[in-house]
Structure 1
């Protein structure tokens, strides 16, 4: 035990920080979720599970935010994973050209969310934006859109911006996974007469399963945390079509309903845990 004491002492600062900045606030959040505290009053009343019950069953605003978040999540996970894998397959061979292209596709990742929001606000502007200008230039005027002004599809256009923002980052993870695949497997596949698609399907795709699991998990967390990007694109507070769980909780907190916001946060965490569990099960089924 004495020999392990110095090792425990090295871990102590990290444990103190983790306890002070994560565990303690989490416990306090659970406590406040059962109260009507407004965030600044010296006293508050216990309401039991009323806040959680209201969030789950009676809160249309929270339900709308959850629906928007799931739409956003689905588009981003599918689109970003597919695009990152495609880029990685095309750019896995290292030469001067692919090195520059990797850097180009990775560049958006180093930008701040606010910068990305300003870029895409210019792209999506219905009157002076780049997207509608390009459509007019090629004679596709009937495809012009209000983009963020369309309540039905606004969250999907934000998802496109999110994919552009982080696809390059996920591409790097896939390139690392592809570079770990032994060349002998591809040589054997070629000997058996496998084409490029068959090589991808039977060699590349199964062998990048760990990278895919990492990409999906990280992309899921990004999708639930796209708070600053959405506020940058939609303003504060965002309209109904762009309201997601993070912005809904923030709005509740800003309205001096800290107890109710804590209850929303608990449901938020449960939703993340459930989605992550289902993704892991689906990934094992696909690659198993």
Structure 2
């Protein structure tokens, strides 16, 4: 009986005895880069070009309308830093606003998040309730708090009246007005920061707390040496976001108070008034450049401060 044997199969490049070549990720081709082109065009048109133009106009006296303007060099920056009480006042107000918002919003969001870390029904419901103001527009929040602060018939004054206490002009005292505006900002965005902290707290291994409990650590040492270092990345996000929002509270202040009210002016509203009310676009561009540099410097300083406590 004759049996036919199948011819031996030839092994390819990946067969036995032969080493496969390591596969390298393909570099993006021209066709793939075309997908990013629309986003790059939008980014360039609405960010890069205005940024370059702002730097260009910052050294001129352009009024925003005329085709002709004169180059004044660093005169705008010199006047801003040495002889502009409006800009200095707006800067001081913005720093007060920043201090109130960053301290209260960061502290409250972390405190609430520590009580709402578990994914129980009550915790999820409370997170949703705290997050609800975030989905509102800044203008609606400003109008809402204007009814709360309104004098003499606002909500707060009505509550004071129930206890026989006199009303108070909440937005009338120049020393405290920016603080009360900051409280509205805290109510507006605390729920959003709670979500960030809850996510950070849920990533901490439970074994660390168990080991700390075995060593006899009480609540404060556990928070100081376990919780706080482990949530440093979340704190960096919260503080950076809160800082940027504090400098961008333009529409909240516009709805809550008048743009012409000096005691509530911050840098963003001052830039708006300089450009569109006074027609000094070149000077407003110089204010914008200093504005961006200030935000960058504060954000970098905060990031370094928080990262010093981060677990590596």
Same fold (TM over 0.5): yes
Aligned to 1:61: 86
More helix by share: 1
Q: For structure 1, which segment, 149-158 or 271-280, has the greater mean C-alpha deviation from structure 2 after superposition? A: 271-280
**2:230–2:310 contact (8 Å) kept in structure 1:** no
Shift of 1:232: 0.6
Among candidates 146, 154, 157, match of residue 180 of structure 2: 157
Aligned to 1:245: 267
Quote the Cα distance in structure 1 between the aligned partners of 2:259 and 2:181.
Answer: 15
After superposition, the C-alpha distances for 1:96-128 in whole angstroms (9 at most, x for unaligned) are 111111111111101111111111111111211
Q: CA RMSD in A?
A: 1.6
Shift of 1:287: 4.1
| C-alpha spacing 1:117/1:5, structure 2 compared with 1 (3 Å) | same
Quote the Cα distance in structure 2 between the aligned partners of 1:286 and 1:192.
Answer: 22
Quote the Cα distance in structure 2 between the aligned partners of 1:280 and 1:176.
Answer: 19
Quote the Cα distance in structure 2 between the aligned partners of 1:3 and 1:220.
Answer: 37
Quote the Cα distance in structure 2 between the aligned partners of 1:194 and 1:86.
Answer: 20
TM-score between both structures, scaled by the size of structure 2: 0.87
Q: Residue 221 in 1 paired to residue 244 in 2?
A: yes
Aligned to 2:171: 148
Shift of 1:175: 0.2
Shift of 1:205: 1.2
Q: Residue 130 in 1 paired to residue 152 in 2?
A: no
Among candidates 230, 237, 249, match of residue 253 of structure 2: 230
What is the aligned residue count?
285
Aligned to 2:62: 37
Q: Greater CA radius of gyration, 1 or 2?
A: 2
Q: Secondary structure at the match of 2:308?
A: helix
Aligned to 1:210: 233
* Correspondence list, 1:42-121, <5 A: 42-121=67-146
Aligned to 1:17: 42
Quote the Cα distance in structure 2 between the aligned partners of 1:178 and 1:6.
Answer: 42
| C-alpha spacing 1:176/1:137, structure 2 compared with 1 (3 Å) | same
After superposition, the C-alpha distances for 1:128-174 in whole angstroms (9 at most, x for unaligned) are 111122223234x26x4311111111000000000000000000000
Q: Which runs of 4+ in 1 moved over 3 A?
A: 1-4, 285-288
TM-score between both structures, scaled by the size of structure 1: 0.94
Q: For structure 1, which segment, 97-106 or 184-193, has the greater mean C-alpha deviation from structure 2 after superposition? A: 184-193
Quote the Cα distance in structure 1 between the aligned partners of 2:303 and 2:219.
Answer: 28
Aligned to 2:297: 274
Aligned to 2:8: none
* Correspondence list, 1:177-192, <5 A: 177-192=200-215
- Unmatched 5+ residue regions in structure 2? 1-25
